[in-house]
Amino acid sequence: MTTPAVLILLGPPGAGKGTQARRLEEKFGLVQLSTGDMLRAAVAAGTDAGKAAKAVMDAGELVSDEIVINILRDRLKEDDVAKGAILDGFPRTTVQAEALDGLLAENGQSVNAAIAMEVDDAAMVERISGRYTCAGCGEGYHDSFKQPAAEGVCDNCGGTEFKRRADDKAETVGARLEAYHAQTAPLIAYYDEKGQLSRVDAMGDIDAITAKMTEMVESAIS
C-alpha cells in the first residue's frame, strides 16, 4: 500500500495557491484540506475535537494548535484522503510544522514537499489592487490587464456599475504581503533545512506554473 502523500503550498494571498491546488487535486487524486473547512466540519459532526473547538470559539478565543492537530488527525483517517492531501493554511508557524511532523510520523508519513510559490511584491500589488468586478453580474476586470471593450460598460451584461474589494487596496495588499513574509520566512527555512522545500516562480503563465509544480510533486511522491 502506498503511503498517502502530504503537500504544503506556501504563498501570499493572490499567488494562485487555490488554482494550483485544484489542478494538483485533479492530477494526483489528492484532497485540499483547509483549516477553516475542517474546523467547521468537525464542529458540525460533533467529534471530540469538534466539541473542544466549538467551546473555544463560543468563548471568543482562538483554537489552539493542539485542537487543530487533533481535527487534522481525524480528517486524515477518512477514506477520501487515501491518496493524500494538500494542506491549505496550516502550518503557519514552525511550532505547528513540528506538531504536524509528529502527527504524520504516527502513520509513517512525512511532508513530501513544501512548495513555496514565490512572487514579486510590486507586481503582486499591481495585480491585486487593479482588480474590479461588475456590480451586476460579477464579471472580473483589471486596470492593466482586462478593461471592458467599451469604457465603463460590462462586456457580459452591459452594466455600468463596478466595485472593488476593500482589502484589494494597494496599501492593504502591501501590508498583507509584509505580514506573510514575516510569518512564513521561518517556515521556508524550516522545510529548506529538512530538504523538503521546492520553489516555483508564481508570476508567470498559469499553465507553465502547473507544469512545473506537477514535476515537483511527481518527483516528491515517486
Q: Which residues are catalytic?
A: 17, 92, 131, 165, 176
Q: Strand, helix or coil at 166? A: helix
Q: 136-164: buried (b, 16+ CB within 10 Å) or exposed (e) per residue?
A: eeebebeeeeeebeeeeebeeeebeebee
129 closest CA partner among 12, 14, 11, 209:
14
Q: Which secondary-structure segment (H or E) carries 81?
A: none
Largest CA distance in the chain: 59
Cβ–Cβ under 8 Å, residues 119 and 203: yes
* Residue 153 to residues 48, 144, 158, 221, Cα–Cα distance (Å): 53, 16, 5, 48
Q: What separation in angstroms does the CA of 74 have from each of 91, 171, 222?
A: 16, 40, 26
Residues in the chain: 222
> How far is 124 from 131, CA to CA, in rounded Å?
11
